[in-house]
Structure 1
Amino acid sequence: MKKYPIPENEVKRLEALKKYSVMDTLSEKEYDAITQLASFICKTPIALVSLIDEDRQWFKSRFGIDATETPREISFCQYTIMGDEVFEVPNATEDLLFSDNPLVTGNPDIRFYAGAPLRTKEGLNMGSLCVIDTEPKNLSDEQKNALKLLADQVVTLLDSRMKHSDFLESQKELQNFIELSKDLVCIANVNGLFYKVNPAFTKVLGYSKEELEGTAFVDFVHPDDLADTSKEVEKLVTGELTVSFVNRFRCKNGDYIALSWNTSPDPITGNLYCIARNVTEEKAAEQNLIDRANLLNESQNIAKIGSWKYTIKSHDLIWSEGHYQIFEMDNLPADQLFQAFKNRIHPDDLEKMDKSTENAIKIGESFKIKYRIVLNDGSIKHILEIGQPFKNEKGEVIELKGIIQDITEITVAEQELIRKSKEIRDIRSALDESAIVSISDKNGLLTYVNENFCTVSKYEEAELIGKNQRDITGYFVKVGAKAILNTIVNGDIWKGEIRNLAKDGSCYWERMTIVPFKDDQNRPYQYISISTDITDQKIAEENLTNVLKNLEKKNKELDEFAYVVSHDLKAPLRAINNLAEWIVEDMPTMPQDVSSNFDLLRGRVLRMENLINGVLEYSRIGRVEIEHETIDLKSMLHQVIDSIVPKTGFEVIIGDEFPIIESEKILLEQVFSNLISNAVKYNDKLIGKIECHYESLPGYHQFTVTDNGPGIAEEYHQKVFKIFQTIVARDVKESTGVGLSIVKKIIEEKGGIIYIESVENEGCSFIFTFPK
């Protein structure tokens, strides 16, 4: 067997591992949750939290395997701790390092391995978070990144565990302190009986431990002090965290001594934790307090805890050494420390702190809050603080005392774990919401389907796993299955639309992408299919095709009908017109009134023919596709004006701003012809004036045609665009009432708008837009 590699920092690495005190400990659900999550993300049956000491790799957490450890010399993880990135073995049987490894040739038949190092803040690799499969594979970049993030969470848990161990050690030291304390320390249960007492208790009172434990607390209180003592203890029921009082306590010899008590309840058990001081021996108690303070400072430094006292009248604030260390401040005089403390608090948390302090002072309310402090370098620490008010004999709060704890690492770790957990849930949720996902092995047998796959196919997961999708969905083989198979077997991605058959016989459509996963030999060993359900889209497309076919048929029928109607209506009109002309020609000396009537007759016939032409033209708008062409707008306008505007009696102005554009020339000619024709037809001035201007708008061309004619009253601004509507009587001005309706329909069909700006007798402006 090959000799295993040794990191350069092996000695420091092993020393750090021992400090964690984690080897051979029981399983913990926090670590098990991470291995399960790693197995799920990487799609492997096995996941491990592996820690490597001198001669073995031991599994703090294991998922999918029964073994608790293996020799270091055959471990895969020994190679993971040699680097900083994910160490991956896609196919162990083809890897020179592992092909003869007993974990490969025998149980658990490892084929694939990937491990992320468990790297401490000092850069020491304790082991790895690894995933294992009995089939060759490769992790995606996203899976590798997730494995590294989860490995970081394992290190965070190990760090938190070590801190917790340190805290337990400090508790042991505190217990030793209590046992050695000259203060009287006891625990009273919910029934008011002494549960435990320290040696000082028995020494001061003269009773043995057996005589005290199990005896009622009140049996030793002086009868005159019973009422006040009960009143103070009852405050704990109302929510106060600590009560302080003095009473007289009976010793075994019958004497009473004065004891100063501090009592706090356990929020879970209800037990009372009590400390009493014999105030008759004040000097001894003061020395004992100094000893306790020194030991407390040591404990606080270990547990990142500090204590404080605030005197209300003088605003003096006193901190323990641990408090100063947490806040990273030098010792300050008591009268300056309070303002320095407030300056340290994050501005967003200052109001919360002030309110807690105010309530403690005004109504004697204890508090427990979390807040942030801002250090000189701008970094943030998270602090947990518990405060308790203390009163004088008048019931006035005279000082506040409390403790703080630096919970930055715990808070940051919790926030990061919450964020990463949410990110993973969101990614999975998004995939399940938006896609139909399946995985098939190299033989085309389904190994995984998500919920959307089951929903659209109407099969249960158990009915799909291990089956060939082509055998289940009957239409698959009919849509180029051979071409699809050739593509993906060659290792190429296939994209396209597939029509499948659901369990109930109904059909559904998918827009599908099939991605081959390839081994080291570039041969596909499994395929992942990601698709979306486009059944509704396909149905809509089919319906749209049918509608368009019907519309095309109707348009053709309409055109044929229009041709017939046009021909049949115009034929008699032409006959009437011809007959009238013949009569006039044959009777040159007919009376003037008869001649006028014939002129009127021919005018009505011409109006009718124009009306028919206008209606047909109106009906064709929007039904005929017109190609875009390059249009010199200024040149086009000159051509329109030359064909419509008389040479005399009119002044025409065309702005210089008209550009060359790409659009439907025939439509614009028709619009300008109608508008300029109306400006000529209805002008009532000796010299008519017509102006044409252009302005470029975002996404649109804007045109303005202005005349100096009689104008249009505001109540007719909308009416003139309706078909067959005219303002001037047709006997006065010959008109079909179709021209402006054609203009409006052309413009609106193309996505533009047209409107009028006019005051009666002051001319008129037609303003319209045309899309670019």
Structure 2
Amino acid sequence: MKINLKPENEIERLQVLKDYAILDSLSEQEYDSIAQLASFICGTPIALVNLIDEDRQWFKSKVGINVSETSRELSFCQYTILGDDVFEVQNATENKLFSENPLVTGSPNIRFYAGAPLRTRNGFNMGSLCVIDTEPRALNVEQKNALKLLADQVVALLDSRKKHLDFLESQKEIQNFIELSKDLVCIANVNGLFYKVNPAFTKVLGYSKEELEGTPFIDLVHPDDLAQTYKEVEKLSKGELTISFENRYRCKSGDYIILSWNTSPEPNTGNLYCIARNVTKEKEAEQHLIDGNNLLEESQHIAKIGSWKFNLVTNDLVWSEGHYRIFELDQLPSDQLYKEYRSRIHTDDLVKLDQVSEDVIQTGKDFKIKYRIVFPDQRVKHILEIGQPFKNEKGEVIELKGIIQDVTEITLAEQKIIQKSKEIRDIRSALDESAIVSISDQQGLLTYVNDNFCSISKYTKDELIGKDQRTITGHFPKAFAKQILKTIVNGNVWKGEMRNLAKDGSYYWEKATIVPFLDEKNKPYQYISISTDITDQKNAEANLQSALLNLGKKNNELDQFAYVVSHDLKAPLRAINNLSEWIVEDMPDMPEAVSANFDLLRGRVLRMENLINGVLEYSRIGRTEIEKEKIDLKLMLNQIIDSIVPKQGFEITIGENFPVIESERILLQQVFSNLISNAVKYSDKPVGKIDCQYKALPSFHQFSIKDNGPGIAIEYHKKVFKVFQTIEARDVKESTGIGLSIVKKIIEEKGGSIHIESEENKGCSFIFTFPK
């Protein structure tokens, strides 16, 4: 099988073939007759009218074969279209190009092939007219010439078919153009009848196609336009064209519209080919323009507007009547007008105006400027001027045109508004700086909140605007809310204190004034609330009251407790301890078991004394002021560890980022000492590990003390901070059960918090915060 061959002009050839629109068309007798004649002349059983597409050869007509197409790469005809003459293969089995071709080795067993190219006038070979035999053979000269002549007839059929298709397509396009045209298109006759009309005709006039075709067009012309219309028809009968002839036509509704006609007569048929356009709106627009010009002059007078133009080449200045009226001048010659005009412009503004003119000439851009004119009696007018430059063919600015407007009243009003706006802005700025401000509409929905409102309520503006404040932050009794609403709805100002709820669940107090804004009917249309934050004041009042009630009682209780501990508990303990020591000294030979019991007795006495000391220490937390000092936390931790943690059996880690802070040293020492001491006391590993770390939070210092001890089960995480609570029995671990209580009380008294992260047998972390 040979490589597929293609002509050099293959792309163009395929496009020409496509333009013929012949591929896959139905069978046609003309082409079949040529194929049969070729088969007869050449004496072959097979003849084909064959067209070569991009990947196939398609048979427009076929004799002696049933298939309608084959692959291009197998075709003999692909070689035929490469030349201009008949391509002949006398014995395909002996031809190197085709000996292994499936069409030769198999059905239809081609042995002989001869094909004449189907060549267009432009030199493109579309395919071939070919004859095929199953026996080797050769054509004589007459047969070859006949084959070429028949191929030319095929091309002539293709061209004729294409012209017919083009004509039909052209007719269709013209018809579509006429049908879709918005213009009125018709064919009439000089005898005065409509012959054909397009849809636009029926749509504009309102008559059906049947009502118009065959009807005298004169019948629809306005009576006042008949004479001129007859004259125009007479000119058309003489072969003259009609261009933009206008007359009025009656619609089916009875209304008249204005049509502008362009008509061309056909002398041979007497037909008139007409195109009309409905120009009613344009005519109305022209009249409106005339009326508008009159109105413009009146409007300029009312609006205090004038127009002008200035020729930069001739220095001619032209003003409208309105311009003269604004400048309070009589009509003047151009040279005098220019001088008088400049004399009336305020000296400070004249320089600015000249600069603008110079910039416009240089840049060619439009301009807008305000300036003042001063009259001899020192009256001042404020002028707004808008101008536009015009250029010549060289791009040079040669003329300026524009309008002016007397904006004195507007300018003075704007100046007052600016002054009042500044005063309002200053007042609002002062309020926003120091007060909580909100505005609600008639339904109570927030339309404005300032930053202070968002700050105290913890809501963003997007969360507040369009919402009812009472359902978001309002947290007061319904009766109280009704009393407020009743006051402001009646147009009265309400003043008082209210407690509100912030987004984070906290409460805050405001001392508020709510002022209703009243409309022309004396009904509120919005409300402005101005308030101050009195949360601290209210909390202080409550705290002070509570403190005053409880302070005396607590102090008495603590004093009594301290007295009992110091005198009633410690004295007997010391006596027991001393007595046990004397007995041991007096009986050096007592049994070992008895001596051990005396040791246990003294241990219990020591525990009791430590417990009493712990309770006293716990009671003193927060009652006395401790002076703050600078503390190097890392140094302090190292000192605590040196005094508490054994040298052997423990690994200590201290983070590098511990800061130097200002706080109460003794309190932090107590906290760290208790936590590190607990880690040592309850260590159950051959090597105990204690890890001390620090993390800076926005408002707090965060510390963690982590060990690898037995851990604390979750159910004990809160219990261990209670006074006298221990996890293990005191006989197993010597403990008062008050150390962690002291830690918790110190931390919470300072405004911090502490919690445990631990599981049983997985070590323990105490994490606590201290305020900065």
TM norm structure 2:
0.33
The higher radius of gyration belongs to 2
Greater relative CO (CA pairs within 8 A, separation 6+): 1
